[in-house]
Structure formats: C-alpha cells, structure tokens
Structure 1
C-alpha cells in the first residue's frame, strides 16, 4: 500500500486529537474530583449513581417522616403526662371530699376546682401539633372535645407514617375515644367529672367516695396509653438510628462510585501530558516541507 503524505498527516491528526481528548478528560477529573461528568464517560457508573441517589432520596423521606412521628409522639406524651397529673389531682380532691367532716362550703370549693380540672382536661384533649388535633383521629381539623358537652367529635382512625421500606408504617396518634373512654359518643371521663362535681355540691360524701374507683380506672387507662406511646417513641429512636446509618452508607457508596482517586488521576494526567507532548514533537517532524515545496 502506498503511503502518501496526506495519509501520514491525517493519521497524526487523529492520534493527536485522541491524546488531547484524554488529556482534557484527565484535567476535568482533576478539577471536578469526579470520575465522570457526563453519562457517556461511564454509563454503568452513572446508572449506579442514579440508583444510589434514588435510595438516598427515599431514605431522606423516611427520615423526615420518622422525625415528624417522633415530634408527634413527644407532644402526645406531654399531653398524657398533663392528663395523668389532672386525674391524680382529681383523686386527691375526691379523697378529701369523701371526708364526712367537711362543711358544705368546703365541698363547694372542691367542686369548683373539679370544674377547673375538667376544663383543663378538655384543653389537653384538644392539643394540637402543627395545626392538627392529635386526639381527633382522621378529623385533625376539628376540635374533638368541648367544655359544654361531653361528646367526642373525632373518629377512631389511626394516622400512620411510613418510616421504612417494604411498607414499614407506624401509627402515631391516640384516638380521643380511647383516651377519654368514649362510649356511645359520650366521654365517660368528662361525665365522671360532672358527676363528681354534682356529688360535691350536693354534699353526698358517700357518692364522692364511691367515685374514687372510677377515677383510678381512668388513671390506669391513661397510664396504659402512655406506656404504649413510650414504646413507640423508643422504636422511633431505633428507626432514626438505622436511617442515619443507611444515609451514611449510601453517601459512602456514592462517593466510592463517583469520586476519583486523586493520586491515580494526577499520575495518569502526567502520563497523558507526556504522550501529548510527544505527539506534538512527532507531528513537527511529520509535517515537513514536501518534495513539491523544494521544486517550486
């Protein structure tokens, strides 16, 4: 095959641009710190990064839900603590009111405090988190209790947060129907407070004494609900730790897949630079004046 001068120059230019492209790619890796800057650089690595980033985005969503669930449970536990304190105070007043030596005036004073305790219980029942009533079931935009009526305006549904893959969900709310012992739409807890007030105002020491057992029952119910909330809060702590570890692992995998080895990049870049300089030197020898130039 006859080798022409144009063929030599064409071959040189092809090799020259290939060397220049490798040099530019190495410089891009050095400046960006990444193994690739576009999908064509490494399609397989790009696909892997996209999968990892998708998992990270999903993990971030689970983390946000877990944080929201934790806050909800903390607000719920605080409300349950207040309700427990109110019932404990109610019991103390009932024990005091059962004392037959109290005057009618004393009994009425206790009755007035009982009504204040009931009003505060209603406030606890209407506790809100982020603009939502936490004891109203799905009806989070409606106050479940009122001071003038002992009825329950919420429902018995549970609000679930997805906190992990595979449909890992957790119910974070406590329906007010359970907490306030709602039967037939009426809160027996609030009704008990009204009955206790009436017994005190009537000076019925025996009736007041008999209601202490009812107070203990309501107090036991609140403590049981609070124990469940505490268990869920502990579980959320474990979930948050796992999600944090998953996020760390995803970040490490993404870095391993995308980040370039700087020592290797610098070594290869130096080699590519030497090859590029050699190609320039070779080109200077190839592109010499031809025979025609000497015949002119």
Structure 2
C-alpha cells in the first residue's frame, strides 16, 4: 500500500512539474515571440539561426560600406562634371583666342581667365567627402595637388596612384575615387602642362600656338569624360550590390524568423492546452485523495 501511494505521489509530482514546464515554455514564447532562445530548445534551429545571424551582420556591414562608397563616388562624379565644364570653357576660350582678329590685350585677358579657371580646377580637386580628399588616393589626408613653379604645369602631385576602395563582399572590392595621378595624365600629356602652355601662348600673343593647343584641350575634356564614365559604372555596380545585399538580408532575416520565432497563435493554443492538462492533473489527484480518505474512514 505504501509503495503504491509513493509511486502515485511521484507520478503526480512529475506530471505537475512537466505541465508547469510546458506552461512556462509557451508563456515565454508568447512574451518573447521566440520559439528557440537557447540550444536546448532546438539545437539544429539554434545553430542554423546563429549562422544566419552572423551572415546578416556581415552583409549589413557590406551594405554600410556600399552606402558610404556610393556617397564617395557620387562626390567624385559631381566634381568631375564641374571639371569637365571648366575644361570645356577653356577649350571654347582657346577657339575664341585662336582667331587672328584678337588683339594682344584680349589674349592677355583670356590668359588671366585661364589662370582663374586653373585655380578653380585645383580647388575642385581638393574636394572632400567625410574628411577625406577624394582625388588624393590613399594619401587622402592632404590635397592631391599643390602649386610648385618647378613642377610640370606649375602643379606638383601629392596624390598616390592607388584609389580608395570599399569592400562589398567577401571577394568583391570596388574603387570609389579617381587619383590625382590619373586625373592629370591624359593621352595628350599632363593636363596642367597643357593648360600652362595655352596660358603662355596667350600671353605671347602666339596665334598658331594657341590653335595647336585646342586639340590638346579637347583631349583633356575627353579624358575627364572617360574618368566620369568609369566612376558612373562603379556607381551602378555599387547600387546593384547595395540592392542585392538588401534583398539577401531580408531573405536571411526571414529564414532566422522561420527557424527561431514562435507562431504566437500556436503558442497561445499550446499554452491553453498545457494549462488544461495542468488543471486536469490537479483535479484527478484531488479526486484520488478524496477516495483514499473515504477508504481510510471506512
């Protein structure tokens, strides 16, 4: 008799403990929205969820890199567009000055305009984004050029020949800037030397030399247009990569949710069932205790 009562009591306590555990589990799912919070809940889902979460963090960093690269590359593109306008104006002024009806004074005035436009070109080349000079390559803490009478065209290069890059994937790196080295190196020669030669021809009132400079100035325009096209292509790549990363992150977050999130409706139903089972166990034990008491009184 004692053994039977002991076994009954042990079974009752185990059933109560299990029922309470189920109620706590489903109540936590309802409160947190998570079905899996630790490895013991579901080891496979927990491990897979952690792997996806790590992948999401990496892709979010790649996406931040792409965002930063886009702003940087668009800054370069805007600056190149302004340079193209200046160089096109220089070419137009050279065509105007090449006319033999121009006087020496008029050509001198145009030479002054060229110098002003060259200064503006240097000013644009010192453009910064987020504190970095975008035409200085990896030496981005300083401007790409400085005035130096002994250098080609009176302008010395401080830029490196390595553009800034952003990493947007495990094996994907995209250039976001143009270096000062690339900027001044045209097929017709050094950009600033071409400009200085035109200024010298204007001051010398040398019509043939001015006319010869027109083709070189035209090449500087084409050169900057080519650089702008290259940056535009990289901007397109960054935009595509950014969108792809965003789509991947959404899909990966959906997979994490599928693995570890709780279905709240199911959790509420399961909690109700666990509560019903708990109440039934208590009710059954109560009836058994009443029956045992009556037997004892008899």
Q: TM-score scaled to structure 2, two decimals?
A: 0.91
Q: Deviations over 1:238-278 (max 9, x none)?
A: 11111111011012111111221223222222221111111
Deviations, residues 133-185 of structure 1 (Å, cap 9, x unaligned): 111111111211124441111111132211123x11112221111111189xx
SS at match of 2:143: coil
Q: Which residue does 1:155 correspond to in 2?
A: 160
Give the Cα separation in 2 of the matches to 1:66 and 1:173.
13
Hey, what does 2:105 align to over in structure 1?
105
The CA deviation at 1:16 is: 1.0
Contact 1:97 1:208 (8 Å CA) reproduced? yes
Summarize the Cα distance change of 1:231–1:182 in structure 2 as closer, same or farther, 3 Å threshold. closer
Gaps of at least 5 residues in structure 2 are 149-153
Q: How does 1:111-122 map to 2 (within 5 A)?
A: 111-122=111-122
Matched, 1:216 2:218: yes
| Mapping 1:41-80, distance limit 5 Å | 41-80=41-80
Task: Determine helix, strand or coil for the equivalent of 1:41.
Answer: coil
Q: Distance in 2 between matches of 1:263 and 1:144?
A: 63
| Offset of residue 6 of structure 1 | 2.6
Give the count of matched residue pairs.
291
Counterpart of 1:176 in structure 2 is: 180
Structure 1 unaligned spans of 5+: none
Cα deviation for residue 293 of structure 1 reads: 7.5
Q: How far 1:33 sits from its partner (Å)?
A: 1.9
Partner residue, 1:197: 199
Q: Is the 8 A contact 1:119 1:147 kept in 2?
A: no
TM-score by length of 1: 0.91
CA change 1:281–1:18 in 2 (3 A) is: same
State the shift of 1:215 in Å. Answer: 0.4
Instruction: Note closer, same or farther for the CA distance 1:221–1:182 as it changes in structure 2 (3 Å cut).
Output: closer
Give the Cα–Cα distance (whole angstroms) in 2 for the partners of residues 198 and 128 of structure 1.
31
Instruction: Map Cα deviations across residues 173-201 of structure 1 (whole Å, 9 max, x no partner).
Output: 21111111189xxx821122222112111
Q: Which residue does 1:15 correspond to in 2?
A: 15
Q: Which moved more, 1:197-206 or 1:37-46?
A: 37-46
The one-character-per-residue Cα deviations of 1:193-216 (angstroms, maximum 9, x if unpaired) are 222112111211111111111101
